[in-house]
């Protein structure tokens, strides 16, 4: 799939973090701009970060006029990616339902539906009768603890095979001659005259024309090495998977009120997720309280799942920004240092478009309009994006 290499003394671009974002940036640098003297460095195996731990939901039904076109462009790239990479990514467009259990949630979802429609994204409010037709197994009775009043229905949403995305991009990078170096931890960044000039790794020093921070949950540990502060805190996010069941659930179901979401894989397992752990940590261990929360709230929606066994539970670490929107762009404090971070609990779906835009920025020096609103400067000029309503639980 990809070859091992000795480190070269120098690369045009060094990307720290070989998750889906780092890999996508490398892929589009080579594929779109012919820049192939690129090294991807990861302290672990490929996909060891959140890219191999997420619940693989793709959607573009965000809330803000900045977020909606950005995520929509990513979904469109995903639609053609299996063909482009010649690798089956198993993208299954089964529709996405965000539930409303209160009048204020219905109002919030209506704003999202209208913003989506204005910007050409297929999403609309539906009510219990139509919800029942899409998810007949869900408890929609008015006597439920938290009755479902309505849902935001987003037909283009779905799930994908996350490992396949990582492997597909990695194989395509390798075929172009881009070098992938797993188990190569970055321990320092060299800055001379306010310019980043290279990185120190556990395998030696490398000179670099440009350095990209694509380390998600570890983003601040890397940016600190370059003297670039980031308004990011790291929280664990947990998920679990059950034993396989006969297929009974088509759409992805999300309830922000219950802090739970679930989908059924092609193999029949239920993949269930939660909100972030309430404390900052780099821990990637599951905890019993979160497992109990995921089970309790799943049973509120699907009481018949009582007794189903959980096969595995895990956690990844998420780089949370104050406005639940990512940070993409060049650092203002030092030259040649780029950031593709702040992906929180929702960044997997953005990997293709973020990678493509970051590659364009690095290759041309121009900021693509799609990522301009997500520049690091927004925290200085007070132009936050405000995506929390569509990103806090609905990953
Ligand atoms: C449980 C869970 C569920 C999620 N569900 C979804 C979802 O359904 N949909 C969605 O869109 N998003 C979801 N996300 C978020 C999504 O997974 C992430 O935002 C995304 O994968 C980030 O990708 P990345 O490539 O930026 O980072 P990562 O995949 O985390 O990669 C970062 C890499 O940096 C490496 N690294 C760190 N420090 C160093 C160093 N010093 N030197 C070298 N390498 C280093 C790490 O080893 C890691 O491989 C979820 C996340 C979790 C944890």
Q: What is the pLDDT of residues 9-38, one digit of tens each?
A: 999 999 999 999 999 999 999 999 999 999
In this predicted model, what pLDDT tens digit does every residue of 175-201 receive, in sequence order?
999 999 999 999 999 999 999 999 999
- Cβ atoms within 10 Å of 65's Cβ, excluding its own: 13
pLDDT > 70: percent of the chain: 100
Q: What is the DSSP letter of 392?
A: S
Q: Which residues of 72-91 are buried (b: 16+ CB within 10 A; e: fewer)?
A: bbbbebbeebbeebebebbb
Task: With CA atoms as reference, report the closest residue to 43 among 18, 25, 24.
Answer: 18
Pocket flag, ligand 1, residue 277 (CB < 6 Å): no
Distance (Å, rounded) from C-alpha 27 to C-alpha 40? Answer: 10
In this predicted model, what pLDDT tens digit does every residue of 26-85 receive, in sequence order?
999 999 999 999 999 999 999 999 999 999 999 999 999 999 999 999 999 999 999 999
Pocket flag, ligand 1, residue 21 (CB < 6 Å): yes
**Angle made by CA atoms 170, 172, 173, in degrees to the nearest 5:** 65
Q: Residue 184: its pLDDT value, please? A: 98
Q: What is the largest CA-CA distance in the chain?
A: 67
**Does residue 282 sit in helix, strand or coil?**
coil
Work out which ligand 1 atom sits closest to the CA atom of 57: 8
Q: Residue 59: its pLDDT value, please? A: 97
Q: Which residues of 255-271 are buried (b: 16+ CB within 10 A; e: fewer)?
A: bbbbbbbbbbbeeebbb
Instruction: Please tell me the chain's helix, strand, coil percentages from 3-state DSSP, rounded to the nearest 5.
Output: 35, 25, 40
Distance (Å, rounded) from C-alpha 86 to C-alpha 82? Answer: 6
Task: With CA atoms as reference, report the closest residue to 51 among 226, 177, 170, 143.
Answer: 170
**Does residue 51 sit in helix, strand or coil?**
helix
Work out which ligand 1 atom sits closest to the CA atom of 346: 12
In this predicted model, what pLDDT tens digit does every residue of 328-369 receive, in sequence order?
999 999 999 999 999 999 999 999 999 999 999 999 999 999
Work out which ligand 1 atom sits closest to the CA atom of 184: 43
Give 212: exposed, middle or buried? Use CB within 10 Å, 0-12, 13-18, 19+.
buried
Q: Residue 219: its pLDDT value, please? A: 98
* Contact (Cβ atoms closer than 8 angstroms) between residue 113 and residue 125: yes
CA of 125 to the centre of ligand 1 (A): 31
Pocket flag, ligand 1, residue 273 (CB < 6 Å): yes
């Amino acid at each position: 799939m990809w070859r091992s290499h000795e480190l070269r003394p120098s690369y045009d671009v060094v990307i720290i973090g070989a998750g889906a974002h780092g890999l996508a940036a490398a892929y589009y640098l080579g594929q779109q701009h012919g820049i192939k003297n690129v090294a991807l460095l990861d302290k672990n195996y490929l996909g060891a970060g959140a890219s191999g731990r997420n619940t693989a939901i793709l959607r573009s039904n965000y809330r803000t006029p900045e977020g909606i076109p950005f995520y929509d462009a990513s979904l469109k790239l995903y639609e053609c990616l299996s063909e482009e990479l010649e690798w089956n990514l198993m993208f299954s467009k089964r529709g996405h339902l965000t539930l409303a259990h209160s009048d204020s949630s219905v109002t919030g979802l209506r704003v999202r539906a209208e913003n989506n429609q204005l910007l050409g994204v297929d999403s609309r409010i539906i009510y219990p009768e139509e919800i029942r037709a899409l998810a007949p197994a869900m408890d929609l009775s008015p006597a439920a603890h938290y009755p479902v009043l309505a849902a935001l229905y987003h037909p283009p949403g779905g799930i994908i095979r996350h490992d396949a995305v990582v492997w597909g991009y990695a194989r395509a990078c390798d075929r172009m001659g881009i070098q992938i170096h797993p188990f190569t931890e970055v321990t320092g960044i060299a800055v001379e005259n306010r310019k980043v000039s290279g990185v120190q790794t556990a395998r030696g020093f490398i000179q670099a024309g440009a350095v990209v921070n694509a380390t998600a949950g570890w983003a601040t540990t890397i940016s600190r090495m370059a003297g670039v502060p980031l308004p990011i805190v790291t929280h664990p996010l947990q998920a679990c998977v059950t034993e396989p069941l006969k297929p009974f659930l088509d759409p992805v179901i999300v309830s922000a009120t219950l802090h739970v979401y679930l989908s059924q894989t092609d193999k029949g397992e239920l993949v269930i997720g939660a909100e972030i752990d309430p404390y900052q940590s780099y821990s990637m261990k599951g905890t019993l309280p979160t497992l109990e929360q995921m089970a309790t709230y799943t049973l509120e929606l699907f009481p018949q799942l009582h007794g189903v066994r959980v096969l595995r539970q895990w956690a990844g670490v998420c780089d949370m920004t104050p406005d639940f929107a990512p940070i993409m762009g060049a650092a203002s404090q030092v030259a040649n240092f780029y950031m593709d971070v702040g992906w929180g609990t929702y960044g997997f779906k953005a990997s293709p478009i973020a990678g493509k835009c970051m590659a364009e920025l690095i290759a041309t020096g121009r900021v693509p309009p799609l990522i301009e609103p997500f520049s690091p400067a927004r925290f200085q000029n007070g132009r936050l994006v405000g995506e929390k309503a569509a990103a806090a639980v609905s990953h």
